[in-house]
Amino acid sequence: MRKMNISKCLVGIAVLLAAPLLVSAQQVETHIGKVTGHADTGRQLYFRYCWGCHGFHGTGTGENWIPTGGFPDTPNLNIQPRNFVAATFKCRSTPTGTLPTDQDLYNSLVRGLTMSNMPSWITLTNQNRADLVAFIKTFSDRWKTDKPGPELSVPAEPALTVQSIQHGKELFTKLECWKCHGPEGRGDGPSASTLTDSNDEPIRPYNFAAGSRFKCGTTNHDLYKIFMTGLDGTPMPSFADVIKPEDAWDLVHYLRTLQVYHKSPELALWEGTKEGAEIVKAQKVRGTPTGSGVNQ
């Protein structure tokens, strides 16, 4: 009887010891295409590459995040690194307020986030990135209780026409995009200076004239997703419930014309019209190249 009790105890202890391993093994995997990411490996990579900004605890308070008001001569990061504990992510293919897919997080690692300190990690292997995604998901219990939202269905892009651009221009005014992004899309609208992110840190609206990359990608498809899903944690809302898909594509076509230093079919078509040529000419501010890659 005593032996039996000891055996049962040992089995019980073994099960108890093994249980967390089994549970954690289930929690730590991600699947990106054919690649399976493992959080244990991702942890090692995180503590090589990421903790300086995102912090040991994933709270976005690494040693490089010195909030405004810190040492005045210390170069701050212009945007607080992502707080993985909050599990609020800008770049998603899922509805606002929901968790992103593994692929969304993976894509952010591949391309980096423009206008922030987050570089592209394209030089890491696919496996490395999948492992990192798996580890990032261990920071928040939200990944245990919630599932990623349904992936946004992006309809095929309609043909590019002048009418489409003009309609997009009307929507830009009607939806009051200009209030933040400014009438010429330079990120200098009347509300721009008052905007803050979910950390109560000042945040600048995107300046279309300054670059070719968007926060969450470079393509028309990416731009469509940005305003249909919103950028969670920022003042940029989702317009999924406000505009129809065909209107969203018109807006995409118009926004492309605001990138006056970036060649695109939309800009070329727009400049081919009298109205567009005059607007683009006025928007091209001449200045001295600063070495920033942007004419200012």
Q: Which residues lie near another protein (CB under 8 A)?
A: 41, 44, 47-49, 51-53, 56-57, 63-64, 73-75, 77-78, 112, 114-128, 289-293
- Closest approach, Cβ 41 to another protein, in A, equals 8
Q: What angle do CA 137, 206, 248 make, to 5 degrees?
A: 85
- C-alpha distances (whole Å) from 183 to each of 10, 167, 203, 214, 255 are 72, 15, 18, 18, 11
**Would you call 43 exposed, middle or buried from its count of C-beta atoms within 10 A (0-12, 13-18, 19+)?**
middle
**Which amino acid type is present at position 162?**
V
Smaller CB distance to another protein: residue 98 or 295?
295
Could you give the CA distance from residue 209 to residue 256 in angstroms, rounded to a whole number? 9
Task: Give least dist CB 185 to another protein, A.
Answer: 18
| Tokens 């309809």, located at residue | 155
Nearest CB to another protein, comparing residues 130 and 180: 130
98 vs 114, which CB is nearer to another protein? 114
What's the token pair of residue 41? 């490996």
Please state the closest distance from residue 208 (CB atom) to another protein, in A: 16
Q: Toward another protein, which CB reaches closer, 103 or 126?
A: 126
Spatial distance between the Cα atoms of 281 and 296, rounded to a whole number of angstroms: 15
**Which residue lies nearer to another protein by CB, 130 or 260?**
130
Least distance in Å: CB of 70 to another protein?
13
Per-residue b/e over 112-121, b at no fewer than 16 CB within 10 Å?
ebbbbbbeeb
CB of 48 to another protein, least distance (A): 4
Q: How far is CA 25 from CA 21, 39, 138, 193, in A?
A: 6, 9, 11, 46
Residue closer to another protein by CB (options 79, 105) is 79
The CB-of-192 to another protein minimum distance in angstroms stands at: 17
Q: How far is the CB of 239 from another protein (least distance, A)?
A: 26
97 or 119: CB nearest another protein: 119
Asked whether 158 and 244 are in contact (CB, 8 A), the reply is: no
* In the complex, minimum distance from the CB of residue 57 to another protein, in angstroms, rounded to a whole number: 6
Residue type, 50: C
* Residue among 124 and 243 whose Cβ is closer to another protein: 124
CB 259 within 8 A of CB 267: yes
Contact 217, 206 (CB under 8 A): no
